[in-house]
Amino acid sequence: MSNLCKNRTVIITGAGGGLGRAHALAFSAEGARVIVNDINEMAAQTVVEQICDNGGTAKASNFDITNYQACTDAIQDAVVTYGGLHIVVNNAGINRDRMFASMTEDDWDAVIAVHLKGHFCLSSNAVRYWRSQSKAGRTVSGRIINTTSGAGLQGSVGQSNYAAAKAGIVALTLNQAAELARYDVTANAITPAARTGMTKAVAVMAERMKKPDDNRFDYWSADNVSPLLVWLGSEYSAHITGKVFEAEGGKISIADGWRSTEGVDKGDRWQPGEIANVMDQLLAKENPAQPVYGTEWP
């Protein structure tokens, strides 16, 4: 066991399996006290037992991440149990995949609630705690680590609800970083590419990401993503905020965000009939975005 996150307390949502479980084990291995949140209490307890068997400290919690008061109580419980809170990892998520023309209101609401509201409720309460500590003159070293997706960066066919929620999380992260630096709180987002329960449900992804039969590097293992989150949760990352990181296999990169281009300026109001020529000029100088996920599939 190392000490990168020694004496730091982290809440990880959706940590009963998949990426969240990998994050919980990785944080514990670096000395963190881990609150394992999952809607499946038995799954969360199993992860806690594994952490404790390995000599770590952990507690299971099945609070509803979309319920603001439940998140308030979860923050208070962390402070009472471990004397403070340092890191929030917003990881929990669900899928309700449909083509946009067939998507129902329930499909939309469920995904937006778990992903976007879930990120808000827990982070909001954590920030209120950190702000109170800062105003009281106490040292704060707060970390918010949000989970977005390539679907949120460039879209994904059949996942308009999921893509919209994940795009919203990116914007939320940028705002959090800009507003919370005064309290010594950082906010970053991670775009993980790994084999999880959600990817296994999509045939083409399940085949692409399956575990190798031999001893080759398991490129799509969730364990490959977690070290980046552990470092971002440590005290050593205080200078990193407002970034969106992509983690896949052994590769770490930064997602390059939206930027304004040079544009074409007439110096006066454009007439509708003039736009076609302007559009040709704009598109000729454009750096095309990555394709929407699914448009290149057979």
Burial code (b: 16+ CB inside 10 Å, e: under 16) for 188-205 equals bbbbbbbbbebbeebeeb
| Order of strands, sheet of 244-248, starting from the edge strand that comes earlier in the sequence | 57-61, 33-37, 9-12, 87-90, 142-147, 185-193, 244-248, 251-254
Catalytic-residue membership of 61: no
Give the separation between CA 29 and CA 284, rounded to whole angstroms. 51
* Residues β-bridged to residue 23: none
> What is the distance between the alpha carbons of residues 208 and 217, in angstroms, rounded to a whole number?
15
In a 13 Å sphere around the CA of 38, the CA atoms on its Cβ side amount to: 23
The number of beta carbons lying within 10 Å of the beta carbon of residue 54 is: 12
Continuous segment of H or E residues that includes residue 66: none
**Whole-angstrom Cα distance, residue 61 to residue 33?**
13
Cβ pair 3, 31 in contact under 8 A? yes
Q: What is the DSSP string of 119-143?
A: HHHHHHHHHHHHHHHHHTT----EE
Torsion 81-84-90-91 (CA) sign: negative
Neighbouring CB atoms inside 10 A of 159's CB total 26
Q: Which of 162, 234, 243, 293 is catalytic?
A: 162
Q: Which of 166, 226, 243, 293 is catalytic?
A: 166
Strands 251-254 and 244-248: antiparallel
- Residue 166 is among the residues annotated as catalytic for this protein: yes
200 is catalytic: no
**Candidates 28, 123, 149, 156; catalytic one:** 149
The residues assigned a catalytic role are: 149, 162, 166
